[in-house]
């Protein structure tokens, strides 16, 4: 949505924050990049993970 300006019925509730974010993307101040699942640092807070992935992500977030 930051790069492609298509609105759908489910996105009409978005507020002014989207417009500020889009402005920064259009000006080149922010670059939107895809992050693979393995690199999603907040995953350990939002879904169940195998213990190995949990420990790795926890260390990343905590800076250990």
17, 2 in Cβ contact below 8 A?
A: no
Domains in the chain: how many in total?
2
Query: Can you give the pTM of this predicted structure?
Result: 0.45
**Same domain flag for 29 and 41:** no
**Same domain flag for 29 and 39:** no
Q: Tell me the DSSP string of 11-25.
A: GTT--HHHHHHHHHH
Q: Cβ neighbours of residue 14 under 8 Å, at least 6 residues apart?
A: 1
pLDDT digits 0-9 by tens, 5-60: 666 666 666 666 777 888 898 899 989 888 887 778 888 888 888 888 888 888 88
Residue 51 CA: distances (Å) to CA of 9, 16, 46, 55: 39, 39, 14, 6
**Same domain flag for 4 and 25:** yes
């Amino acid at each position: 949505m930051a790069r492609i300006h298509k609105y759908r019925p489910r996105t009409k509730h978005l507020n002014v924050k989207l417009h500020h974010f889009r402005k920064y993307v259009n000006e080149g101040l922010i670059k939107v990049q895809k992050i693979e699942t393995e690199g999603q640092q907040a995953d350990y807070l939002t879904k169940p993970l195998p213990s190995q992935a949990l420990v790795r992500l926890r260390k990343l977030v905590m800076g250990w």
